[in-house]
Amino acid sequence: MINQADRSWHQVLEKAFGAFDPDYLRYLQDDTGYFPDRNNFLNAFKTLPLHETKYILFGQDPYPREESAIGYAFIDGKVQKLFSETGLSKEVNRATSLRNFMKMLLLCEGELKEDFSKEALAKVDTAKYIQSIHQLRQNFEKNGVLLLNMALVFSSKEESKKHIKAWRGFVREFLKGLHEASADTELILFGKMAEEVEKLEEAKAFAKHILPHPYNVSFITDPKARTLFEPMRLLRQSDS
């Protein structure tokens, strides 16, 4: 499984995988009963090399839908288009966290002020911005943001806590190895996730950006979120 990741991550991941309970590791190797499958749950490590990583954005666990869970925190594979002729796409509007995140990015671009209504969004010329969720993921990575969940697989809502507990050792060893390899990496933590990560001894050495969860409307105008994400220009096309 590790060989699928960019070679720059292999040493860090080998130590992190060594923290798994043997039975759980066999469960991952059997590649049944969970998603993303073993060929995809390490996708975040395939597309962003270690030496280009500046931030780790921690999510909780994969989306509870197989078509949505594609191996990246916060990137919903079911969402194809970000925008429509009347503002945000229907898919984005159904995803509360992504909807609020997009509104925050449009605020950063100066497209929105205090009015975040559908009517205000309909007036925005979105043609000049990226159009797909995959372009958004690529822009995160261009800014060195690794999109990583606390558990990389999902089977059912009832088993989510089990998976997060099973992956905790992996996350701790990952953070330890990451700090040894790249001490300047910073952590981006949303809501309750900040509390979970801050409990880990291995996380204390990292600088942290602690923000409201994008599920909350307050995230749209949060000053810390704007300070962090505005310079990244996550909606800009590559030639902008």
User: For 181-202, how does the pLDDT look when each residue is reduced to its tens digit (9 = 90+)?
Assistant: 999 999 999 988 888 898 899 9
94 vs 52: CA distance, rounded Å:
32
pLDDT band at 73 (very low <50, low <70, confident <90, very high): very high
With a CB cutoff of 8 Å and minimum separation 6, the contacts of 160 are 60, 61, 151, 154
CATH class of the domain comprising 2-81+132-228: alpha beta
Percent of the chain with pLDDT over 70: 99
Report the candidate in 191, 187, 196 with the shortest Cα–Cα distance to residue 161.
196
Segments making up each domain of the chain, as ranges? 2-81+132-228
Residue 75 pLDDT grade (very low, low, confident, very high; cuts 50, 70, 90): very high
d(CA 148, CA 59): 6
Q: Across residues 221-231, what is the average pLDDT?
A: 98
DSSP the chain: -GGGS-GGGHHHHHHHHTTS-HHHHHHHHHT-S-BS-TTTTTHHHHHS-GGG--EEEEESS--SSTTTBSSSTT-BTT--BSEETTEE-HHHHHSHHHHHHHHHHHHHTTS-SS--SHHHHHTS--TTB--BHHHHHHHHHHTTEEEEESSS-BS-GGGHHHHHHHHHHHHHHHHHHHHHH-TT-EEEEETHHHHHHHTSGGGTTSEEEEE--TTSGGGGG-HHHHHHHGGG-TTB-TT-
Predicted confidence band at 240 (pLDDT cuts at 50, 70, 90)? low
- Write down the pTM of the prediction: 0.95
Gyration radius from the chain CA atoms: 18
60: closest CA among 140, 206, 173, 164? 164
Query: What are 35-60's pLDDT values in tens digits?
Result: 999 999 999 999 999 999 999 999 99
